[in-house]
Structure 1
Amino acid sequence: MTSLADHVRTLGRGPGRARSMDRHEAADAMRLMLAPGAAPEAVGALLMLLRMKGETAPEIAGLAEAARSALPTLPQADLDWPCYAAGRTRGLPLFLLSARLVAMAGHRVLLHGWNGPDGAVRAGLHAACIGIAPNAAAARARMAEGRPVYLPLETLCPPLFALLGLRSVLGLRSCINTVCRMLNPAGAAASVQGVFHPSYRLLQADAAALLGWQALSVIKGGGGEFERHPGKPAPVFGLRGGGAWETVLPPLLDMPPRRLSNGAPGAGSAAPAPEMLRALWQGCLRDPFAEAVIVGTAALALDTLGVADPRAAARDLWDDRPRCRAA
Structure 2
Amino acid sequence: MSLAPYVRILARGQGRARGFTQDEAAEAMTLMLTPDVSREAVGAILMLLRMKGETAAEIAGFSSAARASLPCWTGPRAALDWPSYAAGRTRGLPWFLLSARLVADAGIPVLLHGWNAHQGAGADLRAALPTVGVRSADSVQVAGDLLTRDRIAYLPLESLSPPLMALLCLRDALGLRSCINTVCRMLNPGGAETAVQGVFHPPYRELQADAGQMLGLRQLTVLKGGGGEFEHHPAKNIETFGLRNGQRWTGLTGKQLADHRRLSEGPRDPSLLAQIWRGERHDPFAEAIVVSTAALALDTAGVADPESKARDSAA
TM-score (norm 1): 0.93
Runs of 4+ in structure 1 off by over 3 angstroms are none
Matched-pair contact (CA < 8 Å) for 2:205–2:223: yes
In structure 2, C-alpha distance between the alignment counterparts of 1:59 and 1:201, rounded to whole Å:
15
Matched-pair contact (CA < 8 Å) for 1:130–1:147: no
Q: Could you say what secondary structure the match of 2:221 adopts?
A: strand
Q: Check 1:92–1:295 CA distance in 2 against 1; reply closer, same or farther (3 A cut).
A: same
2:252 to 238, 244, 248: 248
Alignment RMSD: 1.1
Counterpart in 1 of 2:91? 90
Q: In the TM superposition, what is the alpha-carbon distance from 1:249 to its structure 2 partner?
A: 2.1
Map of 1:177-216 to 2, 5 A cutoff? 177-216=181-220
1:123 to 120, 124, 127: 127
In structure 2, C-alpha distance between the alignment counterparts of 1:20 and 1:292, rounded to whole Å:
42
In structure 1, C-alpha distance between the alignment counterparts of 2:23 and 2:135, rounded to whole Å:
36
- 1:309 and 2:305 are equivalent in the alignment: yes
Partner amino acid, structure 2, of 1:134: D
Q: Which blocks of at least 5 consecutive residues in structure 2 are unaligned?
A: none
Identify the range of structure 1 (160-169 vs 3-12) with the bigger mean alpha-carbon deviation: 3-12
Matched-pair contact (CA < 8 Å) for 2:113–2:155: yes
Q: Which blocks of at least 5 consecutive residues in structure 1 are unaligned?
A: 320-327
Counterpart in 1 of 2:6? 7
Q: Deviations over 1:261-296 (max 9, x none)?
A: 11x3xx4xxxx7221011000101000000000000
Counterpart in 1 of 2:37? 38
In structure 2, C-alpha distance between the alignment counterparts of 1:71 and 1:128, rounded to whole Å:
28
Counterpart in 1 of 2:105? 104
Matched-pair contact (CA < 8 Å) for 1:111–1:151: yes
Partner amino acid, structure 2, of 1:187: G
Q: Deviations over 1:122-171 (max 9, x none)?
A: 11111111100012221121111143100000000000000000000000
Q: In the TM superposition, what is the alpha-carbon distance from 1:116 to its structure 2 partner?
A: 4.7
Counterpart in 2 of 1:113? 114
Counterpart in 2 of 1:260? 263
Q: In the TM superposition, what is the alpha-carbon distance from 1:35 to its structure 2 partner?
A: 0.6
Matched-pair contact (CA < 8 Å) for 1:106–1:146: no
In structure 2, C-alpha distance between the alignment counterparts of 1:167 and 1:249, rounded to whole Å:
32
Matched-pair contact (CA < 8 Å) for 1:142–1:148: yes
Q: Check 1:62–1:236 CA distance in 2 against 1; reply closer, same or farther (3 A cut).
A: same
Matched-pair contact (CA < 8 Å) for 2:117–2:126: no
Q: Deviations over 1:192-248 (max 9, x none)?
A: 000110110000000001111100000000011000000011111000000000011
Identity of aligned residues (%): 59
- 1:147 and 2:148 are equivalent in the alignment: no
Matched-pair contact (CA < 8 Å) for 1:87–1:116: no
Q: In the TM superposition, what is the alpha-carbon distance from 1:89 to its structure 2 partner?
A: 4.6
Partner amino acid, structure 2, of 1:222: G
Q: Check 1:260–1:80 CA distance in 2 against 1; reply closer, same or farther (3 A cut).
A: same
In structure 2, C-alpha distance between the alignment counterparts of 1:20 and 1:28, rounded to whole Å:
13
Partner amino acid, structure 2, of 1:150: Y
Matched-pair contact (CA < 8 Å) for 1:84–1:115: yes
Counterpart in 1 of 2:295? 299
